[in-house]
């Protein structure tokens, strides 16, 4: 699991310029019978090593940056964690600076 977390963070830093200490990762694991992972019509075969990565971040990255990130991430996951590109799904959800509080009841990005 650590290899997956490290690979994702490495590519976030590399491709999106995320600060190295800006690392908040949460792992949720499910038993196979708790998941239905099907082909959405793109012809992508999955195995039991399927990984879904959900990233929440402030908006502003370009389509080109995101495409590069997806490509670099699957390469890094294949190299460091042995996960094939067809077993990686990524969902990026963007929001704005007012949507974040890192603690103490403050909106740090607005200060």
6-25 residue pLDDT tens:
999 999 999 999 999 999 99
Report all structural domains of the chain as residue ranges with CATH numbers, in order of start. 1-10+49-96 (3.30.429.10)
pLDDT at 16: 98
Q: 91 pLDDT band (50/70/90 cuts)?
A: very high
How many angstroms separate the CA atoms of 74 and 55, rounded? 15
Query: What is each CA distance from 4 to 80, 82, 99, 102, in whole angstroms?
Result: 8, 9, 27, 24
Closest listed residue to residue 74, CA positions, set 90, 56, 60? 90
Contact 89, 52 (CB under 8 A): yes
20-76 residue pLDDT tens:
999 999 999 999 889 999 888 999 999 989 999 999 999 999 999 999 999 999 999
pLDDT at 111: 87
Phi, psi of 31 (to 5 degrees): -70, 150
């Amino acid at each position: 699991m650590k290899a997956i977390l490290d690979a994702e963070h490495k590519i976030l830093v590399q491709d999106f310029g995320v600060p190295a200490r800006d690392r908040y990762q949460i792992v949720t694991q499910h038993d196979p019978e708790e998941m239905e992972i099907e082909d959405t019509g793109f012809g992508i075969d999955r195995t039991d090593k399927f990984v879904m990565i959900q990233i929440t971040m402030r908006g502003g990255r370009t389509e080109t940056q995101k495409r590069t990130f997806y490509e670099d991430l699957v390469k890094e996951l294949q190299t460091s964690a042995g996960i094939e590109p067809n077993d990686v799904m990524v969902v990026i959800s963007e929001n704005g600076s007012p949507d974040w509080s890192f603690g103490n009841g403050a909106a740090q990005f607005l200060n």
